[in-house]
C-alpha cells in the first residue's frame, strides 16, 4: 500500500511541477507581449517629443509658420499620455517625471519665454529620460529573452536604433532653430559640426550591427532599409554642410530642413519597426 501512496505523491508532485512550468512560460509570453506593445508605444512618445523639440525651437527662434504644427504635436502628446497604454507605466519613476515635466514645457513653448538653447535642453533631458525608461521597461518585461539570431537581442537593436534617431533628432532641432533665425552662430556651428560627426559614426555603427544579423526572415528587408538610411542621412549631412554651416544669411527654410531631417529619422525608425514587428509576430518561438 505504501508504494502506491508514494507513487501517487510523486505523480502529483510531477504534475504540479509541469503545471507550474507551463504556467510560468505562459505568463512570460504574456509579459513579453505586453512589453512589445509598451515598447512601440514609448517609441511613439519619444518620436512626438523629438518633433516637438524641433518645431518649438523653430517657433521660439522666429518661425511662426510652424506654430500650428507645434500645437498639433502638443495635442498628440497629450492624447498619448491619456491613453490606456500609459497605465502600466505609472510604477516607473521616469514616466512620472515625464508627465509632471511635460505640461510645464508645453506652456513654455507656447509662451516663448525660454531661450532656444533652453527649450532644446529641456526637451533633450526629457527625451533622455524616456529612453532610459524604455530600457527599464524592456528589462522589466523580459524582452531580453527575444533573440534575432544566436547573439543579437531585440532589445539591444531597439535601443541602439532609438539612440541614433535621437542624435538625428537633436541635429534636426538645432538646425531648425538656425534656419528659423537665418544665421548660424559660432556656438551653433561648433555643435552642428560635432553632431554631423556623431550622426555619421553612430549610424554607421548601427548599420554594421544590423548587417551582422543572421536571420533569413529579416535579411532582405533590413538590407533595403539600411540602404535607405544611408541615403537619407547622406542627404541630410550634405544639406548641413552646404546650406546650414555657411557664413552670412541662410536661405534655407526651417520647414524644408525639418522635413529632410525627419525623413532620415523615419528611415532609421523603420529598422526599429521591422524588428519589433517581427518580435510581435514571432515572440512565442523566440523565447
What is the DSSP secondary structure assignment for residue 20, as one 8-state letter? H
* CA separation for the pair 188, 129 (Å, rounded): 24
* CA separation for the pair 9, 13 (Å, rounded): 6
* CA separation for the pair 173, 179 (Å, rounded): 10
Q: What is the CA radius of gyration of the chain?
A: 23
Q: H/E element holding 267? A: helix 254-286
pLDDT computed for residue 18 by the predictor:
60
* CA separation for the pair 168, 264 (Å, rounded): 8
Chain CA centroid to CA 21, Å: 34
Per-residue pLDDT of the chain (287 residues; tens, 9 = 90+): 556 565 555 556 565 566 555 555 656 788 999 999 999 999 999 999 999 999 999 999 999 999 999 999 999 999 999 999 999 999 999 999 999 999 999 999 999 999 999 999 999 999 999 999 999 999 999 999 899 999 999 999 999 999 999 999 999 999 999 999 999 999 999 999 999 999 999 999 999 999 999 999 999 999 999 999 999 999 999 999 999 998 888 989 988 999 999 999 999 999 999 999 999 998 777 66
Half-sphere exposure of 37 (CA within 13 A, CB side): 13
Angle at CA of residue 46, ends 135 and 90, nearest 5°: 60
* CA separation for the pair 266, 276 (Å, rounded): 15
Q: H/E element holding 33? A: helix 2-60
Instruction: Tell me the DSSP string of 199-253.
Output: HHHHHHHHHHHHHT---TTTHHHHHHHHHHHHHHHHHHHHHIIIIIS-SS-----
Q: Grid coordinates in use for 159?
A: 535601443
Q: Grid coordinates in use for 246?
A: 555657411
Which residues touch 177 (CB under 8 Å, ≥6 apart)?
A: 57, 58, 60, 61, 116, 120, 188, 254
* Confidence (pTM): 0.89
Question: Residue 153: helix, strand or coil by DSSP?
Answer: strand
Q: Grid coordinates in use for 272?
A: 526599429
* CA separation for the pair 71, 209 (Å, rounded): 37
Chain CA centroid to CA 24, Å: 30
pLDDT computed for residue 93 by the predictor:
95
* CA separation for the pair 207, 160 (Å, rounded): 10
Tally the residues of the chain: 287
pLDDT computed for residue 23 by the predictor:
52
Which residues touch 14 (CB under 8 Å, ≥6 apart)?
A: none
Domain ranges within the chain, ordered by starting residue: 40-286
Tell me if 99 sits within 8 A of 81, measured CB to CB.
Answer: yes
Amino acid at each position: 500500500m505504501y508504494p502506491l501512496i508514494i507513487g501517487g505523491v510523486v505523480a502529483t508532485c510531477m504534475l504540479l511541477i509541469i503545471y507550474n512550468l507551463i504556467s510560468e512560460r505562459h505568463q512570460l509570453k504574456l509579459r513579453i507581449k505586453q512589453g512589445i506593445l509598451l515598447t512601440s508605444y514609448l517609441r511613439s512618445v519619444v518620436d512626438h517629443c523629438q518633433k516637438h523639440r524641433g518645431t518649438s525651437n523653430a517657433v521660439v527662434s522666429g518661425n511662426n509658420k510652424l506654430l500650428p504644427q507645434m500645437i498639433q504635436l502638443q495635442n498628440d502628446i497629450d492624447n498619448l499620455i491619456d491613453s490606456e497604454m500609459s497605465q502600466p507605466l505609472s510604477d516607473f519613476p521616469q514616466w512620472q517625471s515625464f508627465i509632471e515635466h511635460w505640461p510645464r514645457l508645453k506652456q513654455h513653448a507656447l509662451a516663448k519665454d525660454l531661450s532656444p538653447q533652453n527649450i532644446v535642453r529641456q526637451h533633450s533631458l526629457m527625451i533622455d529620460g524616456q529612453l532610459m525608461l524604455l530600457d527599464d521597461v524592456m528589462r522589466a518585461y523580459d524582452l531580453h529573452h527575444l533573440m534575432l539570431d544566436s547573439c543579437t537581442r531585440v532589445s539591444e537593436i531597439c535601443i541602439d536604433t532609438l539612440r541614433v534617431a535621437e542624435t538625428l533628432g537633436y541635429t534636426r532641432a538645432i538646425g531648425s532653430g538656425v534656419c528659423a533665425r537665418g544665421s548660424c552662430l559660432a556656438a551653433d556651428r561648433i555643435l552642428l559640426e560635432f553632431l554631423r560627426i556623431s550622426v555619421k559614426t553612430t549610424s554607421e555603427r548601427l548599420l554594421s550591427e544590423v548587417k551582422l544579423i543572421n536571420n533569413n526572415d529579416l535579411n532582405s528587408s533590413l538590407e533595403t532599409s539600411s540602404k535607405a538610411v544611408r541615403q537619407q542621412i547622406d542627404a541630410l549631412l550634405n544639406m548641413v554642410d552646404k546650406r546650414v554651416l555657411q557664413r552670412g544669411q541662410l536661405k534655407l527654410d526651417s520647414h524644408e530642413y525639418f522635413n529632410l531631417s525627419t525623413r532620415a529619422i523615419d528611415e532609421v525608425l523603420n529598422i526599429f519597426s521591422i524588428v519589433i514587428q517581427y518580435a510581435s509576430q514571432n515572440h512565442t518561438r523566440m523565447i
